[in-house]
Structure 1
Amino acid sequence: MVVAAALVSCTQASSGGGPGADVPSTSAGSGQDTDLARIAENAENAENADRAEREAGEAEDTAIPSPAPARVRDAFATLQATLDETCTPGAGDCAYFLGRVTRELTELDESMRADGKGPGHFKKPLADMKALFGKLGDDRSEAHLEKHFSEIVGTRDGINTWMQDHPDDYR
C-alpha cells in the first residue's frame, strides 16, 4: 500500500499533477486515471506477493528440521571408532565411554530401520540392540550403564562381527 501511494505521488508529480494541480476528469477522453489505478493495483499486488513470500520464508526458517537417520555406513563407522576404547567399571572413567557406545548403537539402530533394504535385512543386529535397550530402559546414568557394561560392549562387538560379514552394508 505504501509503495502504491508513493508510485501515485511520483506519477502525479512527473505529469504536472500534484497537490496544487487540477484533478483530471474521468471523461472518456482521459485514460490517465485508469492508468494510475492500474499502476497502483499492480504495485499493491506486488507488495502483497512480496509480503507473502517473506512470511513464507520466515515460516520455513522457524520450522525445526527433523534429523534424518544417519546412513548405516556412517553410523557403523562411528560405532567402529569405539572398538579400541574401554573403561574400568567402578573406577569412575566409564560415563563418557558407555554413554558414547550406547548413543552410537542408538543411531545405528535408527539408520538400519530407515535403510532401503528394510529392517528384515538387519534382523540380527536389530534384535540384539532391542534386547540391550530393553535391559537399559531410559536410565543412562553411569552406575546403570556400568551395571550393563558386558551387555553394552558385547552388543557392540557382536554387531561389529555381523557387519564384517556384510561388507556391502558399510563400504
Structure 2
Amino acid sequence: MARPKHSTFDKAKTVAENRRARFDFAIDDVFEAGIALQGTEVKSLRFGEGSIAESYAEVKDGEVFLINANIPEFSHGNRFNHDPKRPRKLLLHEREINKMHGAVARKGMTLVPLSIYFNSRGRAKVELALAKGKKAPDKRATIKERDWKRQQGRLLKDNG
C-alpha cells in the first residue's frame, strides 16, 4: 500500500513545529516517520515540551537519525531520565531510506523535520522533508508573494 501524502497525515496533537523550515528551504518530498523514544521522552512530549528548531536528520549506515532535537528531561523523572539532545533513530521503510540517501548524496538536499506530533493511535511521529536550501533572492520572492496574498485577502474582504 502506498504511503499517504503529507496533507493526509493524521495529526491529533502537534507538539513541536519548525516554522522557519518552509521559509529557509524549498520543500520537495514529505515523509512520516516514527521515532524510537525512551519512556521519559514520551512523557515530556505528551506535556508539550520539545523543540526541533535547529534539528536535522541524517542517513548513516542504512538508518536515519534525528540530530540536535531537544526534548527536555521529564520533570518527575528519576536517575533514568534521558539525555535531552541525544540522536534519535527514525523508523522508516527501507525504500524511503534509500530514496532519502540518494537525494542527499546526489542532489545535495537536506533532511529537515517539519513537526513532531502524536497521531490518532497515540504514536509519536516526525514529519520529515527532503528540502533544498533557498538563496536570499528566493527568500525575498517568498516574502513578496506572502505580502501580496495578504493584500489580496484584504482587498477581497473590503470589496467583496
Shared fold, TM over 0.5: no
Indicate the structure with greater strand content.
2
Larger radius of gyration: 1
TM-score normalized by structure 2?
0.19
Structure with higher RCO (Cα < 8 A, 6+ apart): 2
